[in-house]
């Protein structure tokens, strides 16, 4: 489910996953939705004593996870989250996957039902290079962060950082933290989480909760 460069679990963990891991407390229960090859779960188990579970769409990813001893099931974020009980996890993680699900709003709501908090990372379609390409060439952008052609991409619901923040507001979701990052997941501290984030960050990482919880 997750896109971007793959890595050996644990050893060369993707920087953007480290950014997510930073938001997760030691000893917590984590559901990683779209856990790929299990790199984040493996890292969290090793470094933060996390009790982790995963859902992954691709069978190859699931098999790789289970063969490492991770508790992962084959499943689809759009259809299978409904089976999990309310507040059964401290965190529900969705990394680089929200833009690939059929109903992002519903999935977001489900994540915050299952987890007391959610950690979401999304690619930013509002990045200046995307705007520039669309404006100048009149064609769907292909950038270093968004590498696939429109007809060949699993991404069906692109949004900008601004759009995502608005969706959270509409769903009464509280944004506890927002970190701007480049496409590799390196923090862009100079961008901050203000108005420039939508123009300059290539991805956003959000720690979310429901008001009155967490």
Partner 1 sequence: MNSTQRHEEVVTGPEERAGRTVVLGTETPLTLDSGTELGPFTIAYETYGQLNDEKSNVILVCHALTGDQFVTGINPVTGRDGWWPLMVGPGLPFDTDRYFVVCANVLGGCMGTTGPRSDDPKTGRPYGLSFPVITIKDMVRAQAMLLDHLGIDKIFCVSGGSMGGMQALQWTVTYPERVHAAIPIGSAAHHTAQNIALHEVGRLAIMGDTDWHGGDYLSHNAIPRAGLSVARMAAHISYLSEAAMHRKFGRQLQDRETLSYGFGADFQVESYLRHQGEVFVERFDANSYLYLTRAMDYFDLIAEYRGVLADAFQGSPTRFCIISFTGDWLFPTSENRTIVHALNAAAANVSFVEIESDKGHDAFLLDEPEMFETIRGFLRGAAEHWSGTTQ
Residues that bind partner 1 (CB under 8 A): 53, 59, 62-63, 65-75, 80, 83-85, 88
Residue (83 or 189) nearer to partner 1, CB = 83
CA distance 22 to 26: 10
DSSP H or E run through 52: strand 51-56
- Least CB distance to partner 1 at residue 2 (A): 18
User: Which has the closest alpha carbon to 2: 110, 13, 26?
Assistant: 13
Could you give the angle at which helices 161-170 and 104-114 cross, rounded to 10 degrees? 60
What are the backbone angles phi and psi of residue 199, rounded to the nearest 5°?
-95, -35
Residue (65 or 101) nearer to partner 1, CB = 65
- Least CB distance to partner 1 at residue 87 (A): 10
- Least CB distance to partner 1 at residue 214 (A): 19
- Least CB distance to partner 1 at residue 101 (A): 18
Residue (57 or 108) nearer to partner 1, CB = 57
Residue (53 or 127) nearer to partner 1, CB = 53
Taking residue 138's Cβ as centre, other Cβ atoms within 10 Å add up to 7
């Amino acid at each position: 489910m997750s896109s971007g460069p793959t890595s050996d679990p644990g050893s060369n963990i993707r920087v953007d996953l480290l950014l997510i891991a930073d938001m997760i407390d030691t000893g917590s229960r984590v559901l990683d939705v779209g856990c790929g090859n299990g790199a984040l779960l493996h890292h969290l188990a090793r470094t933060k004593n996390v009790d982790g579970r995963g859902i992954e769409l691709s069978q190859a990813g699931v098999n790789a996870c289970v063969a490492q001893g991770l508790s992962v099931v084959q499943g689809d974020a759009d259809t299978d989250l409904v089976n999990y009980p309310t507040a059964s996890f401290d965190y529900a993680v969705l990394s680089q996957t929200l833009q690939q699900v059929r109903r992002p709003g519903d999935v977001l709501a489900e994540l915050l039902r299952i987890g007391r908090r959610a950690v979401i990372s999304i690619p930013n379609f509002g990045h200046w290079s995307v705007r520039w390409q669309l404006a100048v060439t009149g064609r769907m952008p292909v950038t270093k962060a968004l590498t696939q052609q429109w007809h060949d991409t699993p991404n069906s619901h692109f949004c900008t950082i601004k759009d995502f923040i608005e969706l959270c507001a509409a769903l009464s979701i509280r944004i506890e933290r927002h970190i701007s990052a480049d496409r590799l997941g390196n923090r862009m501290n100079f961008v901050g989480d203000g108005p420039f984030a939508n123009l300059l960050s290539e991805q956003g990482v959000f720690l979310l909760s429901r008001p009155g919880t967490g």
